[in-house]
């Protein structure tokens, strides 16, 4: 293990967990990742192994049969997993966001019902805000839930569900009529149960099929179509309608830490590949690592990897302290995703023509890194969040 992406102040338990995850990544993920990715094959054996490690319940409290670890521990584990194969970290991420939403906002009955089974991976979570005509503009959500007696009826179409098929529980943000002046107070999060698979997975809920993607393969990304899907009011997250937007934004903050961690993992792996190849490839009688142009490139790559990791750790620790971390998470996500793409491209350049070959791992990372720029909000969205907040903090008086 190199000197990059080390974290000070970890407990003995955290260190042991990370050691186990790193060993699993090196032995069980990296050797098969490229083959599975090229085949767009779901990594079932890897997922089963992560279940045995307790990763699905890493942050779920011990009283609900989880490990009760911090967001920092989770983020560092995600960083390691993404270093092996980013798609696998996607299997965990949306599951974790749903578990987090239940921990923070669910009723006690909802926690008892779902969290113990989420900790084992028996219940698998998916997270849904986007629609075909919207991404970051959450106010434009058109999927509606209309009250009908003691139930609600949901109609609409959702987009970009990671784990859309393999999940059995989807946290879905929809519009409801609460009579509020603000559109954001007329939104509700429902906990929608479904069967795994494609087609009609619950009455009035269809998962059409996988969306073919440039990268992020293996894990499925889907649509979800609601046609008169009836659901009880007891499936409203927290039991009270009209709070969905604020609940989801809380989940997005931790999701952005997760994406930052994934970007750090990809960047670290790209650096590892680049520095190894640069010592093996020779030109003009010496390894290319000894040429100043390549040496400088390696130095810049290492600095970017380390900077992104440091920002990600700060964002996670801020959230763990019970503070709002929208700025820290936005900064970490923006910086880590941008640096990830720069480091991957630099490693790609070091590999030369071989980097363009599917036989080399860097080709897969080149496609995967692009997703980091858009997942959980683009860099432009992060800049808006950061800019508005710092402007408020530094507003001139008088």
Distance set, CA 236 to CA 104, 141, 190, 239 (Å): 14, 17, 5, 5
User: If DSSP codes are grouped into helix, strand and coil, which group holds residue 374?
Assistant: coil
* Residue appearing with tokens 């649509």: 223
Residue 376 annotated to the active site: yes
Q: In whole angstroms, give the CA distance from residue 268 to residue 82.
A: 9
Print burial letters for 296-327: b (CB count within 10 Å at least 16), e (below 16): ebbeebbebbbebbebbbbbbbbbbeeeebbb
Give ∠ CA 26-29-35 in degrees, rounded to 5. 130
DSSP code string of 9-72? T--HHHHHHHHHHHHHIIIIIHHHHHHHHHHT---HHHHHHHHHHTGGGSSS-GGGTS----HH
Task: Determine the 3-state secondary structure of 244 from DSSP.
Answer: helix
> β-strand 151-162 against 221-232: which pairing, if any?
antiparallel
Cα gap 237→219, rounded to integer Å: 26
Which residue's entry shows tokens 């507003």?
395
Contact between 328 and 316 (Cβ < 8 Å): no
What is the rounded CA–CA span in Å between residue 332 and residue 225?
Answer: 33
Geometric angle at alpha carbon 103, from 143 and 12, rounded to 5°: 135
Residue 62 CA to residue 151 CA, distance in Å, equals 33
Q: Among 309, 260, 251, which residue's Cα sits nearest to residue 94? A: 251
Active-site choice (131, 253, 368, 376): 376
What residues are labeled active site? 376
């Amino acid at each position: 293990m190199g000197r990059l992406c080390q974290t000070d102040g970890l407990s003995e338990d955290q260190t042991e967990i990370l050691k186990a995850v790193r060993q699993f990544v090196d032995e069980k993920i990296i050797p098969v990742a490229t083959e599975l990715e090229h085949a767009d094959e779901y990594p079932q054996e890897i997922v089963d192994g992560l279940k045995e490690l307790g990763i699905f319940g890493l942050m779920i409290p011990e009283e609900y049969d989880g490990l009760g670890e911090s967001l920092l521990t989770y983020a560092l584990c995600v960083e390691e997993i993404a270093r092996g194969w980013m798609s696998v970290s996607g299997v965990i991420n949306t599951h974790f966001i749903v578990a987090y939403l239940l921990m923070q906002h669910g009723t006690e009955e909802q926690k008892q019902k779902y969290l113990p089974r989420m900790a084992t991976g028996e219940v698998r979570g998916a997270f849904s805000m986007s629609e075909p005509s919207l991404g970051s503009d959450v106010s434009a959500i058109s999927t509606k839930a209309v009250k009908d007696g003691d139930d609600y009826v949901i109609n609409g179409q959702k987009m970009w569900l990671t784990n859309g098929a393999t999940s059995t529980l989807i946290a879905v943000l929809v519009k409801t009529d609460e009579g509020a002046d603000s559109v954001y107070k007329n939104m509700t999060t429902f906990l929608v149960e479904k069967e795994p698979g494609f087609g009609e997975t619950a009455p009035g809920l269809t998962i059409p099929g996988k969306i073919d993607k440039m990268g992020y393969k293996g894990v499925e990304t889907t649509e979800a179509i609601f046609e008169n899907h009836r659901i009880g009011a007891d499936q409203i997250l927290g039991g009270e309608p009209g709070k969905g937007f604020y609940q989801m934004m809380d989940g997005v903050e931790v999701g952005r830490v997760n994406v930052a961690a994934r970007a750090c993992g990809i960047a670290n792996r790209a650096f590892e590949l680049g520095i190894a190849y640069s010592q093996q490839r020779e030109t003009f009688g010496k390894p290319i690592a000894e040429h100043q142009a390549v040496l400088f490139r390696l130095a810049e790559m290492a600095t970017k990897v380390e900077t992104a990791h440091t920002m990600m750790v700060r964002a996670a620790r801020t959230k763990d302290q019970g503070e709002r971390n929208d700025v820290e998470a936005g900064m970490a996500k923006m910086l880590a995703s941008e640096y990830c793409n720069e480091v991957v491209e630099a490693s790609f350049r070091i590999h030369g023509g071989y980097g363009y070959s599917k036989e080399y791992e860097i080709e897969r990372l080149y496609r995967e890194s692009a997703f980091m720029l858009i997942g959980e909000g683009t860099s432009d969205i992060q800049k808006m969040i950061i800019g508005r907040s710092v402007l408020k903090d530094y507003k001139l008086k008088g």
